[in-house]
A = this chain, B = another copy of it.
Amino acid sequence: MRNFLSAEDVPNINELVQKAIGFKADPTGSKLSGTGKRMGLLFLNPSMRTRLSTQIAASNLGMESIVFNVGQDGWSLEFEDEAIMNGTTVEHVKEAAPILGKYFDVLGVRTFPGLKDKAEDYSEFFIKQFVKYSGIPVVSLESASLHPLQSLTDIITITENFKEKRKPKVVLTWAPHVKALPQCVANSFAQWINAWGEADFVIAHPEGYELDKKFTGNAAIAYDQSYALKEADFVYVKNWSSYSDYGNVLSTDANWMLTNEKLFATNNAKVMHCLPVRRNVELSGEVLDGANSIVTQQAGNRVWAAQAVLSEILNG
């Protein structure tokens, strides 16, 4: 694996999942594989879980990691090829990326969508500029439209929690939120579940919240959450802003908040969320505090997902 930007970079998802589960059982068994290697972690917006889990994953492999928060530690980057830089950006990615490529062996980058210009966000222009100019493998720590480390974690967590022979029913349900959020986690989960192919997959959301078909593919879409939740084995709760009416909040309908009552209709479903979660807005506190929630296990698995990816990248 050269870069890790989406499910398309992964030849075999199950193999990567098993590799991660192996690291969970033996975190430092491959400690020597990263010795003498350095990873730069470049954040164009803040992060807790992703930063910490990737640093720990790198350390488990014997790699050194150095965090750089753009804007806070440094300065604003310019991404437009022909920019006349007489404004607020002080360094072009054409200079910054190759230098990071000289300093590090692997580059993790977190970019973000502006949620104004759909075409720009979905072109993944920012992270692709790092791929183009850094000269070293790039790992997405979340990008404008995708969050592949999260999705790998999600499939690891589903694999750990489902031991039956049949395919699990996995429901991704939209939830209310107070802010306009990216579609990244939802897009990416859909992309990975489809590429994985080992789940019956349903996406539930109010009308107007349809995700990009290139990620959802043949997933069933339901506007009726109750209907979607029936017999679900996993319920993944997540807010996103509208893709069609790009970046806007069309609904804050509190009826879409997941509650214990709604879980009755499921097959005693495990409840997932990428975190951070707005308690009693997206998910009721009783669900998060209850036995069905696996959000903490899921967040813990971020380490093993990152470690599996870094290990594959070190292997070339």
Contacts and interface: CB of A to CB of B under 8 A. Distances in A.
Interface of A: 28, 36, 38, 40, 46-49, 51-53, 55-56, 59, 64, 66, 68-69, 72-75, 78, 81-87, 90-92, 94-96, 98-100, 102-103, 178, 275-281, 285, 288-289, 295-296, 299-300, 303
Q: Copies per complex?
A: 3
Contacts of A100: 52
Contact of A86 (B85, B281, B299): B281
Contacts of A49: 99
Given A48-B68, A85-B281, A95-B296, 19 more contacts: A38-B59, A49-B99, A52-B68, A52-B100, A82-B285, A83-B280, A84-B280, A84-B281, A85-B280, A86-B178, A91-B276, A92-B276, A94-B279, A94-B288, A95-B275, A95-B277, A99-B275, A102-B300, A103-B303
B90 A73 contact: no
A288 B97 CA distance: 14
Contact of A52 (B40, B55, B83, B296): B40
A95 B56 contact: no
Nearest to A280: B84
Q: Which of A40, A48, A74 has the most CB of B within 10 A?
A: A48
Q: Which of A47, A66, A75, A99 has the most CB of B within 10 A?
A: A99
B36 A99 contact: no
A255 to B, nearest CB: 15
20 contacts: A38-B56, A47-B74, A48-B74, A48-B75, A48-B91, A49-B99, A51-B73, A55-B66, A72-B72, A83-B280, A84-B280, A86-B178, A90-B278, A91-B275, A94-B288, A94-B289, A95-B275, A95-B277, A95-B299, A99-B275
